[in-house]
Amino acid sequence: MSGYSVTEPSKRQKWIAGVLVITYALVTLMPLLWVIATGFKSPADSIAYPPKVVFHPSLEGYVNLFTTQTRITPDMKATLTPPQTWYERIVRNKGMMIAGPSRYGQRFLNSIIIGFGSTFFSVFLGTLAAYAFSRFRVPIKDDLLFFILSTRMMPPVAVAIPIFLMYRQLGLSDTHLGMILLYTAVNLSLSVWLLKGFIDEIPQEYEEAALIDGYTRFQAFYKVVLPQAATGIASTAIFCLIFAWNEYAFAVLLTSGTAQTAPPFIPTIIGVGGQDWPAVAAGATIFLLPVMIFTIMLRKHLLRGITFGAVRK
């Protein structure tokens, strides 16, 4: 080895680097792969010891996740029509029948509404606030910014009890609006600070040019500043969504039915008909998808965004 060199790395160096990176990726991705694999195992395979790496893929977990089932009693057998669909067949094979859809779909939809809703409001309000803090002479600006940041200085759960009581009083418990408001409030400090950093990086001259060119302050904001801040907005949105999407403590405390999100719901699957790990894993896998898709969609921005505006062309 030639020690330190500024030239193109040799083939061998590249190869070693590649092996290291792939190994590291495998180690960190292991739990994720484990969950995804478990979702496609049969209940027996899922608890087999030693764990099965090669197994017969089965969709039983997914069917169990989306349906409620009842055991077929001997007297029911006579009246049953043969199964019509592939998922009915899977359920029949274990001596059960489908009683109806499970609540997972609805909980998942709640997660989507609350997660994306609060992300939208966090980023929308955060962008406006960050722009104001960045560009205007706001009285006691530094104190306000510190106050906004201070809301993040303790774990959100520390205020769980007061919020619980407040929400009960206001009728916001177990409502979509309540959860959107809550997650927006928690995320706002992050989004204001992140976005202020991004907007500070955009030279004021662009807006001033637009003002001179005959546009109003607001037109200058959305025609000139917003396109420039797209990177920052995208990465802030991802951070906000990830928080709101994964939040568990408040969701357990404040939601139980109508507005319950997926995180508190998924563990309850375990109790339905024994320890149904494939169904839990299937729920977790599907739960991962939206954030993954969202992140992949915005990843071009994210890569530049996580350097916090340090790189500008």
Partner 1 sequence: MAQIIIKNLRKDFGDFTAVKSSSFTIENGEFFMLLGPSGCGKTTTLRMIAGLELPTAGEIYIDGEDVSHKRASERDIAFVFQMFALYPHLNVRQNISYPLKSQGMPRAQIKTKITEVARLLGIEEILDKPVGGLSGGDRQRIALGRAIVREPKAFMMDEPLGALDAEFREHMAEELRALHDRMGATTIYVTHDQLEAMQMGDKIVVMNHGSVEQFGVPQEIYDWPATMFVADFIGSPPMNFLYFKGSINAGDSTIVLAGQKFEIPTQLQGCEGDIVFGVRPEHISFDPDSQYRGDILATEYLGTTQIVTVKTRNGILKARIPSSEPVSEGEKMGLAFDPGVITLFDKKTGRALLSKGNKGVLGDG
Q: What residues make contact with partner 1 under the rule CB under 8 A?
A: 203, 205-206, 208-216, 219, 224, 227-228, 313
Q: In terms of CB distance, is 278 or 309 closer to partner 1? A: 309
Backbone angles phi, psi at 154, to 5 degrees: -125, 160
**Minimum Å distance from CB 98 to partner 1?**
53
**Minimum Å distance from CB 139 to partner 1?**
12
Unique residue bearing structure tokens 């202020």: 196
Q: In terms of CB distance, is 227 or 257 closer to partner 1? A: 227
Q: In terms of CB distance, is 88 or 201 closer to partner 1? A: 201
Cβ atoms of 260 and 104 closer than 8 Å: no
**Minimum Å distance from CB 202 to partner 1?**
9
Unique residue bearing structure tokens 């200085």: 153
Q: In terms of CB distance, is 82 or 214 closer to partner 1? A: 214
Unique residue bearing structure tokens 């089965």: 58
Residues with Cβ within 8 Å of residue 145, at least 6 apart in sequence: 133, 192, 193, 196
**Minimum Å distance from CB 267 to partner 1?**
46
Residues with Cβ within 8 Å of residue 239, at least 6 apart in sequence: 187, 190, 191, 194
Residues with Cβ within 8 Å of residue 231, at least 6 apart in sequence: 198, 301, 304, 305, 309
Q: In terms of CB distance, is 167 or 221 closer to partner 1? A: 221
**Minimum Å distance from CB 307 to partner 1?**
18
Distance CA 216, CA 181 (A): 31
